[in-house]
């Protein structure tokens, strides 16, 4: 059987792996790689479920998945070979923070120029936060310079006021952006078993607030602002324990405190035509990893570097209040009763329910039980 490195396998299918440091690559014991958990699992002649995952007290290591045959790749396996030098500690930036943040802007624009194609359709999940407004400001600069691309900016409640003000100040036409109008109950349309997840992660990560725009997700490349919180992580967590994955301390911090191991990224790559993450782009990271630690101050909402970053644009976006991600799920008792019914009717419960000795409660969307339900959807998809 042919074996390929996880990097080369992914690179043949998705253009974004050339320019983006994706976290979501999985591998098996034969060295085959994929971002799609289900597809890789179906390639295995045998799958062994790790019963430790059925204990709420179990703390998995970053590379582990519920199947013993499948694990996450190391950084060394997944990084584009041309950028491996970033795995070593980089020298701190030699100039001031103004020059540093301008260099970050240049890196984002370089990434966008490499990836945005006139003939493709893009959907940008834009919040009211600083990362989104920086990326869309870079896009607006390029737009005014004559670079055209087919994009729609989509936000959701409760960040509507900040988002709309950002769009207004940047000067985007009103038909290029919108706020999702969902149902009062289950606004984000989560908890549907058929919308299977990508491994061991919370079921609320199946949220969808673009169904009215991207009815066929495979027609769109998704863009997100994930990855920009490095400077906040340095301010808050630089002295805490984190796994040593490479020599570069900042990469270790960035990967430790971003959610999960990239399951959400892999889910998006599987659903959409591709996934672009400018703040995980190599052209941005080559500068961001050189940040002077003393510049990284947390003000209770965001960090001083990203505030300074917004000042590199002419649109006056710095003083727009930060949009906190206070999701209003509005889930009913009937919703959770349906989730329990689906779980107890699942193939996963049939195979492993006898090992579950505690009463299940799916109401905490970031709990062990939420990940258990999410993995059930993955498992049942594998064995359908």
Q: List, as own/partner pairs, every contact residues 158-165 make where C-beta atoms lie below 8 angstroms and the sequence separation is at least 24, other chains included.
A: 158/323, 158/324, 158/326, 158/328, 159/127, 159/128, 159/129, 159/323, 159/325, 160/128, 161/128, 162/128, 162/320, 162/321, 162/322, 162/323, 163/126, 163/127, 163/128, 163/132, 163/323, 165/320
DSSP string, 298-335: B-SSSBHHHHHHHTTSSS--TTSPP----------HHH
Q: Both tokens of residue 326?
A: 């206070």
| pLDDT in the model for residue 99 | 98
Asked whether the predicted pLDDT for residue 316 surpasses 70, the reply is: yes
| pLDDT in the model for residue 118 | 94
Asked whether the predicted pLDDT for residue 306 surpasses 90, the reply is: yes
pTM: 0.94
Q: What is the pLDDT of residues 69-109, one digit of tens each?
A: 999 999 999 999 999 999 999 999 999 999 999 999 999 99
The end-to-end CA distance of the chain, in Å, is 25
What value does the CA radius of gyration of the chain take, rounded to a whole number of Å? 21
- Classified as helix, coil or strand, 153 is strand
How much of the chain exceeds pLDDT 90, in percent?
83
The domain limits of the chain are 6-78, 83-310, 333-382
| pLDDT in the model for residue 3 | 42
| pLDDT in the model for residue 7 | 54
Asked whether the predicted pLDDT for residue 210 surpasses 90, the reply is: yes
- CATH fold for the domain made of 83-310: Rossmann fold (3.40.50)
Asked whether the predicted pLDDT for residue 13 surpasses 90, the reply is: no
Average pLDDT over residues 241-266: 87
Q: What are phi and psi of 356, to 5 degrees?
A: -95, 110
| pLDDT in the model for residue 6 | 58
Asked whether the predicted pLDDT for residue 5 surpasses 70, the reply is: no
**Residue 325 pLDDT level (bands cut at 50, 70, 90):** low
**Residue 1 pLDDT level (bands cut at 50, 70, 90):** very low
Q: Both tokens of residue 253?
A: 């911090």
How much of the chain exceeds pLDDT 70, in percent?
95
| pLDDT in the model for residue 382 | 98
Alpha helices in the chain (DSSP H): 6-11, 37-42, 75-78, 97-115, 130-144, 160-170, 230-237, 249-257, 263-271, 282-288, 304-310, 333-344, 347-352, 368-382
Average pLDDT over residues 8-35: 84
Produce one character per residue of 84-117: b if its CB has 16 or more CB atoms within 10 Å, e if not.
eebbeebeebeeebeebbbbbbebbbbbbebbbe
| CA nearest to 162, candidates 138, 133, 122, 124 | 133
Contacts of residue 207, defined as CB under 8 A and 6 or more positions apart, other chains included, come to 188, 189, 190
- The whole-angstrom distance between residue 155's C-alpha and the CA centroid of its chain comes to 16
Q: What is the pLDDT of residues 110-150, one digit of tens each?
A: 999 999 999 999 999 999 999 999 999 999 999 999 999 99
Average pLDDT score, the chain: 92
| pLDDT in the model for residue 141 | 98
Asked whether the predicted pLDDT for residue 8 surpasses 80, the reply is: no
Asked whether the predicted pLDDT for residue 10 surpasses 80, the reply is: no
Q: Residue 74 class from Cβ within 10 Å (0-12 exposed, 13-18 middle, 19+ buried)?
A: middle
Q: Pick the range with the lowest mean pLDDT from 123-137, 153-167, 257-271, 274-288.
A: 257-271
Asked whether the predicted pLDDT for residue 220 surpasses 80, the reply is: yes
């Amino acid at each position: 059987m042919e074996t390929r490195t996880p990097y080369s396998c992914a690179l043949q299918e998705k253009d974004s792996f050339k320019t983006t440091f994706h976290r979501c690559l999985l591998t098996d014991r034969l060295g085959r790689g994929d971002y799609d958990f289900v597809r890789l699992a179906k390639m295995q002649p045998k799958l062994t479920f790790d019963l430790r995952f059925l204990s709420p007290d179990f703390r998995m290591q970053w590379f582990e998945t519920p199947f013993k045959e499948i694990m996450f790749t190391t950084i060394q396996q997944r990084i584009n070979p041309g950028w491996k030098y970033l795995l070593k500690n980089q020298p701190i930036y030699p100039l001031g923070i103004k020059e540093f943040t301008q260099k970050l802007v240049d890196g984002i624009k370089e990434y966008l120029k490499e990836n945005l194609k006139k003939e493709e359709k893009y959907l940008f999940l834009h919040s009211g936060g600083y990362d989104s407004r920086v990326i869309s400001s870079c896009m607006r600069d390029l737009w005014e310079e004559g670079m055209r691309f087919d994009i729609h900016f989509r936000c959701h409640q409760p960040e509507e006021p900040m988002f709309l003000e950002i769009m207004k100040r940047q000067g985007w036409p009103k038909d290029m952006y919108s706020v999702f109008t969902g149902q009062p109950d289950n606004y984000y349309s989560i908890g549907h078993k058929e919308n299977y997840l990508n491994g061991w992660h919370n079921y609320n990560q199946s949220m969808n607030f673009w169904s009215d725009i991207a009815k066929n997700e495979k027609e769109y490349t998704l863009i997100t602002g994930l990855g920009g919180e490095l400077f906040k992580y340095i301010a808050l967590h630089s002295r805490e324990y984190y796994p040593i994955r490479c020599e570069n301390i900042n990469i270790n911090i960035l990967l430790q405190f971003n959610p999960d191991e990239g399951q959400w990224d892999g889910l998006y790559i599987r659903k959409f035509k591709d996934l672009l993450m400018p703040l995980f782009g190599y052209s941005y990271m080559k500068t961001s990893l050189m940040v002077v630690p003393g510049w990284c101050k947390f003000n209770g909402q965001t960090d001083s570097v990203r505030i300074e970053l917004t000042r590199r644009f002419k649109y006056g976006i710095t003083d727009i209040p930060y949009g906190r991600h206070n999701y209003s799920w509005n889930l009913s008792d009937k919703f959770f009763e349906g989730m329990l019914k689906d779980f107890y009717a699942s193939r996963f419960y049939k195979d492993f329910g006898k090992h579950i000795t505690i009463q299940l409660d799916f109401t905490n969307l970031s709990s062990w039980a939420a990940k258990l339900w999410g993995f059930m959807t993955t498992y049942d998809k594998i064995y359908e």
